């Protein structure tokens, strides 16, 4: 007897669940039950599908760690009942949420696939139809009774990406996401071509959900001529525990003593500073140039080829889980935990 995979679809908000008001032209939330009516293709899939919505769906610009916790609690509550999860989410912060959820779900052995759209589901040219249908198909893929995909992903415009490797690259094109430092996990054409050599193998770790997220961090993008006073004002923020510093090229920044001294003093006070490149692809190598070596000597941690989204959410996760233990935070930040970092 062929048992259909049981998939849970979770709606958080975003463009895919909106409709354009004919009078005002603005986007408004669509009752979630209407999505299934607008997508009769879903009923043709060889799956058992249930769906639920967050208590208060949000535009992705309002996404925050409280919603991340609500999401992972839904997955925790339903993990044994379902073979896979598909999460509808706005595109603007999808890469942040997918990265955060990847760290918050330890020992994951099932697919958690984020998707959405650039056009609302009731627009005739919507990209949401293909995105959702294929995301559900991928979530249902099994081999020998086990899920093939065992990680948090983003599916968008015919490609499946590792969630903590993806970035949004376009506000208007359908191919809105890319994974600059890691290959796509699958491409959907006539067939779904899974790149099994890139898929996460899963973990022997017991499935565990981590809900303590530290929000006492900041992100600062360097630019030529930036005053050191700007850096000081950020680092002197009351209660600050971490800073993600977006630097030039391979992790380079000003070699001026005042700049490096400001970093050193903050690190001595207990602020964890990580160094992420502003470049779309490539990695931080702090020892490559003198201007990068100064960052390393000051005590900044190189983020290698992590995206800013992954670095931010990983730092939030680690500072929340290992509160008061900066040495563990620093060690684990440089460790590949969920495929976010190349070995």
Q: Is 343 domain-assigned?
A: no
Say if residue 200 is in the same domain as residue 282.
no
Say if residue 236 is in the same domain as residue 186.
no
Q: Is 341 domain-assigned?
A: no
124: confidence class by pLDDT, cuts 50, 70, 90: confident
Say if residue 166 is in the same domain as residue 203.
yes
Say if residue 44 is in the same domain as residue 66.
yes
Q: Is 274 domain-assigned?
A: yes
Q: What is the pLDDT of residue 285?
A: 94
Domain boundary residue, one of 157, 185, 209: 209
CB 338 within 8 A of CB 261: no
CB 166 within 8 A of CB 154: yes
| CATH classification at residue 271 | 3.40.50.40
CB 219 within 8 A of CB 308: yes
Sign of CA dihedral 278, 282, 283, 288: negative
Residue 18 — φ and ψ, nearest 5°?
-120, 165
Q: Is 339 domain-assigned?
A: no
139-181 pLDDT tens trace: 999 999 899 999 999 999 999 999 999 999 999 999 999 999 9
Say if residue 222 is in the same domain as residue 325.
yes
Say if residue 280 is in the same domain as residue 190.
no
Q: What is the pLDDT of residue 100?
A: 98
Average of per-residue pLDDT across 188-208: 92
Note down the domain range covering 308.
217-333
Say if residue 124 is in the same domain as residue 185.
yes
Q: List the catalytic residue out of 15, 97, 126, 307.
A: 15
Q: What is the pLDDT of residue 56?
A: 85
Domain boundary residue, one of 209, 225, 245: 209
Domain boundary residue, one of 191, 209, 227: 209
Say if residue 41 is in the same domain as residue 148.
yes
258-305 pLDDT tens trace: 999 999 999 999 999 999 999 999 999 988 877 778 999 999 999 999
Q: For residue 335, indicate whether it is catalytic.
A: no
Say if residue 21 is in the same domain as residue 95.
yes
Say if residue 110 is in the same domain as residue 26.
yes
Q: Is 342 domain-assigned?
A: no
Average of per-residue pLDDT across 317-333: 97
- Which residues are CB-contacts of 4 (< 8 A; sequence separation ≥ 6)? 46, 47, 48, 140
Say if residue 248 is in the same domain as residue 195.
no
Burial class (CB in 10 A: 0-12, 13-18, 19+), 171: exposed
Q: What is the pLDDT of residue 173?
A: 96
Q: What percent of the chain has pLDDT over 70?
A: 94
pLDDT over 80 at 202, yes or no: no
Say if residue 258 is in the same domain as residue 301.
yes
Instruction: Give the total number of structural domains in the chain.
Output: 2
| CATH classification at residue 101 | 3.40.50.1170
4-60 pLDDT tens trace: 999 999 999 888 877 666 777 766 666 666 666 777 788 889 999 999 988 888 889
Look up the pTM and report it.
0.95
39-50 pLDDT tens trace: 778 888 999 999
Q: What is the pLDDT of residue 270?
A: 97
């Amino acid at each position: 007897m062929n048992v259909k995979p049981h998939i849970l679809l979770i709606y958080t908000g975003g463009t895919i669940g909106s409709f354009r008001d004919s009078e005002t032209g603005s986007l408004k939330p669509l009752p979630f039950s209407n999505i299934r009516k607008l997508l009769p293709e879903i009923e043709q899939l060889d799956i058992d599908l249930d769906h639920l919505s967050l208590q208060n769906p949000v535009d992705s610009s309002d996404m925050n760690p409280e919603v991340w916790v609500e999401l992972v609690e839904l997955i925790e509550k339903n993990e044994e009942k379902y073979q896979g999860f598909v999460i509808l989410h706005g595109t603007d912060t999808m890469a942040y949420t997918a990265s955060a959820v990847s760290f918050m779900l330890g020992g994951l052995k099932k697919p958690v696939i984020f998707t959405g759209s650039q056009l609302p589901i009731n627009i005739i040219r919507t990209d949401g139809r293909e995105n959702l249908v294929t995301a559900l198909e991928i979530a249902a893929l099994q081999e020998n009774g086990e899920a093939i995909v065992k990680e948090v992903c983003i599916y968008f415009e015919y490609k499946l990406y590792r969630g903590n490797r993806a970035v949004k690259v376009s506000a208007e094109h359908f191919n809105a996401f890319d994974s600059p430092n890691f290959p796509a996990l699958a491409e959907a054409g006539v067939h779904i071509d899974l790149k099994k050599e890139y898929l996460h193998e899963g973990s022997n770790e017991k499935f565990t959900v981590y809900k303590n997220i530290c929000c006492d961090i900041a992100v600062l993008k360097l630019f030529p001529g930036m005053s050191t006073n700007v850096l000081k004002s950020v680092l002197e923020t009351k209660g600050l525990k971490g800073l993600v510093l977006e630097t030039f090229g391979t992790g380079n920044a000003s070699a001026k003593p005042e700049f490096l001294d400001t970093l050193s003093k903050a690190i001595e006070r207990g602020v964890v500073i990580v160094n992420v490149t502003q470049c779309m692809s490539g990695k931080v190598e702090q020892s490559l140039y003198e201007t990068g070596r100064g960052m390393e000597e000051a005590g900044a941690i190189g983020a290698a080829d992590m995206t800013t989204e992954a670095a931010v959410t990983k730092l939030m996760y680690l500072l929340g889980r290992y509160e008061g233990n900066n040495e563990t935070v620093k060690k684990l930040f440089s460790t590949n935990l969920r495929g976010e970092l190349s070995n």
